[in-house]
Structure 1
Amino acid sequence: MGKTLGYARISTDQGQDATSQKAVLEDLGAVVVFVDIGNGSKLTGRDQLEAALRLLDEGDTLLALHPDRLARDTGDLLTIAKRVIEKKAVLRINDPAITLDGTDIMAEVMLTVFGLVGMMEKHFIKARQRRGIEAAKLRGDIYKGRPATISPDAVRDLRQQGFGATQIAKRLKIGRASVYRLLAA
């Protein structure tokens, strides 16, 4: 019997914590838990998921608590499942209980259905967001998005001290693209 690798994802590190997901995954047998921070609407930038997939060997299991922790898109969810099966490993979702090893068409159907549910949920979230923005505009409120979380002054100060964009990004725990954007503003 192979090892079980857990995968958890939180949308943001502001007000969210993966501790409870990690604890449940470990209780379910995960020997290590990989955690990504970011939305599940795309696979790009999910370094920990990629690491977990690379480490899977034949007979291993990739375990997630819910399908939407893996992806909020049917195609992405099935891509992940295909990559797991190609390694002769098993994808196991805890809730709802789905075990996909490439031999059970019903497990694939269930995974597809829950992928569709995730896509619908993503659509409804975006629709509510658009309605909220439109309502704010009708009231005369100026919609500016969420408040800035990065201090432009801190970026400029570090730049004046001679730090490069990569060093600034690491020190402030932000993306390099954000550093470039703030320096250009």
Structure 2
Amino acid sequence: MATIGYARVSSVGQSLDIQQAALADAGCDKIFAEKKSGRRASDREQLALALDYVRAGDTLVVTRLDRLARSVIDLHHIIAKLTDKGVSFRVLQQSGIDTSTSSGKLLLTMLGAVAEFEADIRAERQKDGIEAAKVKGVYKGRPASIDPAIIQSALAAGEAPATIAKRLNIARSTVYRLKDAAPA
């Protein structure tokens, strides 16, 4: 019976150190960690590896519930997978979560719903902020990563779009978009 930890932060600029230290202090034998958004469990490679790694009798540990899932649906899928494998689940900072009891399952669902609500509110605020910045003329989107003139020049010289994309290390769709936008 092993104790397995899972740590996650949303962006590259954030640190996993505090979560990893807490998981190590909690006696985790192995820790899976990643810097990925928590919106969809299907996008998280280390979570998938942790779920594959755990065996019957093991315990999966996270520091906070929102580190595991930001969606109630994802949360229930993950917990169902753990339950099917005979793996228990523990949250360090929310110690009332025990998926073997009815009240623990209720608390899990309620806290999962709160985490999803917080994520939705954050996304709405971000969208509102972007719209307000666009109205003010401040938000222009991400700056161009490649000079369109380079692509136009290569196309005019007869170079194939796939070759251009490979040479410039960009998506072929970028080359085709500029090709289609060019005056005939």
TM-score (norm 1): 0.76
Q: Secondary structure at the match of 1:133?
A: helix
Give the Å deviation of 1:71: 0.7
Which position in structure 2 is the counterpart of 1:7?
A: 6
User: What's the CA shift for 1:152?
Assistant: 4.9
Aligned with 2:41: secondary structure? coil
CA distance in 2, matches of 1:152, 1:32: 42
CA distance in 2 between counterparts of 1:7 and 1:179 reads 34
Tell me how far apart the structure 2 counterparts of residues 181 and 72 of structure 1 sit (CA, whole Å).
Answer: 33
Contact 2:6–2:32, Cα closer than 8 Å, also in 1: yes
Distance in 2 between the 1:181 and 1:68 partners? 37
Q: For the aligned residues, what is the CA RMSD? A: 2.6
Following superposition, the deviation at residue 24 of structure 1 comes to: 0.6
**Bigger radius of gyration, 1 or 2?**
2
The partner residue of 1:79 within 77, 80, 83 is 77
Q: 1:141/1:22 Cα in 2 relative to 1: closer, same or farther (>3 Å)?
A: same
How far residue 55 of structure 1 moved from its aligned partner, in angstroms, is 1.2
Query: Aligned residues: percent identity?
Result: 33
Structure 1 segments (4+ residues) deviating >3 Å: 98-101, 181-185
Unaligned runs of 5+ in 2: 152-162, 179-184
Distance of 1:118 and 1:23 partners within structure 2: 23
Pairs aligned (count):
160
TM-superposed CA distance for 1:141, in Å, is 2.1
Give the corresponding residue for 1:171: none
- Unaligned 5+ segments in structure 1 are 157-161, 169-177
Deviations 1:103-136 (A, max 9, x none): 3011111110111111110111111112211221
